[in-house]
Amino acid sequence: MFTEDEINSAIVKVLRQDRSKSIEPDNWFHCSGAAACRRQLWNAKRCPVTFDDKSVRAMGVGTILHNWLEHNVYLEGTQREVSVAKQYGNIVVIGRTDMIDKDTVYDWKTIRALWYLPTEDGKGTPKTFKEGHVPQLNLYADMLGKENICLLYVDKGDIQVKAFPMKVDKNVVNNCLRKFKDVYGKLNYDKNPFPLCGCFQCEEERLIHYRNATTEEEKAAWEMDKWPIHKSIRAKETAKWNADRGRGKTETKKWNDSWKPVTGAESTSTVE
């Protein structure tokens, strides 16, 4: 009989194979990386991060659902999985759209639950899209000559969809291209020339360095106190997340306390 660990390892092995990428020219940039900061784009080219098994499984679930949507959901008058590529000066931008019609580019975004999206009204109803998902669609639309884009958020729990249609923003396209060109121009540097900016990916990079530090000196260099910008940004993000859901300080404390893991004989589950 196979053990639980052996079965989990077999699943992760397949998921890692699905995520493997071929070697590409340095001047190729993917639309899907448009939301990343300059530092993380440089990292992706020069020293890609190896994800842990838990992250690989979580991303795998999203990929499986995403592929199912691409191959099985058809809307009349649309084309699915359209590959795009365009040269902008010394760089080439490539990608593959999920779905297009005569004037709009659509993109599926799987999410743990729709209520993870910002609400604006504090009542739990998704009202706003995630800003980081917009640049990718703007690039697709620019390459295909489309006027509109539409984010399609899919709840992983019940496959309910929330759509956010909007007009293409040329400023977003130009900002992405400047960023790609900045990164391409510095890929010959021995070390990443772009500083940690405080975005989520930069914070994850800091944590990876901290966890992998082999000496007290290295660990101290990546302590949270050495990076107050991260602490400040994380606090602001938490405050906004609570405000979006209409929580004040008292309600937030009650909610946080309710999620503390139980220990001892009464414990029936582990909260991660």
pLDDT digits (tens, 9 = 90+) for 131-148: 888 999 999 999 999 999
- Tokens standing for 14? 């397949």
pLDDT tier at 46, thresholds 50, 70, 90: confident
Sign for the pseudo-dihedral over CA of 222, 224, 226, 229 = positive
Nearest 5°: the CA angle 114, 13, 69 is 35
Residues 74-112 as b/e (b if ≥16 CB within 10 A, e otherwise) read: eeeeeebebebeeebeebbbbbebbbbeeebbbbbbbbe
pLDDT tier at 259, thresholds 50, 70, 90: very low
Q: What was the pLDDT predicted at 126?
A: 55
Q: What was the pLDDT predicted at 234?
A: 47
Tell me the average pLDDT across 163-182.
94
pLDDT tier at 179, thresholds 50, 70, 90: very high
Average pLDDT, the chain: 76
The yes-or-no verdict on residue 151 having pLDDT over 80 is yes
Taken in order of first residue, the domains within the chain and their CATH numbers are 13-191 (3.90.320.10), 196-258 (no CATH)
Residue from 148, 138, 131 nearest 176 by CA: 138
Long-range CB contacts for residues 113-117, cutoff 8 Å, separation at least 24: 113/155, 113/156, 113/157, 114/153, 114/155, 114/160, 114/162, 115/245, 117/153, 117/162
- Tokens standing for 77? 């008058």
- pLDDT tens per residue, range 81-97: 899 999 999 999 999 99
- Phi, psi dihedral angles at 185 (to 5 degrees): -70, -10
pTM: 0.71
Higher per-residue pLDDT: 59 or 110? 110
The yes-or-no verdict on residue 255 having pLDDT over 50 is no
Q: What was the pLDDT predicted at 269?
A: 30
Residue from 27, 35, 2 nearest 172 by CA: 35
Tell me the average pLDDT across 190-209.
78
The answer to whether 208 and 49 are in contact (CB under 8 A) is: yes
Percent of the chain whose predicted confidence (pLDDT) is above 90: 30
Report the distance separating Cα 77 and Cα 101, nearest Å. 6
- pLDDT tens per residue, range 92-127: 999 999 999 999 999 999 887 777 676 655 555 556
Q: Which three-class secondary structure state does DSSP give residue 75?
A: coil
Q: What was the pLDDT predicted at 267?
A: 28
Chain center to CA of 19? 15
Q: What was the pLDDT predicted at 258?
A: 37
Tell me the average pLDDT across 230-249.
51
pLDDT tier at 156, thresholds 50, 70, 90: confident
For residue 152, list its beta bridge partners.
108, 163
Residue from 184, 207, 106 nearest 151 by CA: 106
Q: What was the pLDDT predicted at 44?
A: 85
The CB density around residue 180, as the number of other CB atoms within 10 Å, is 25
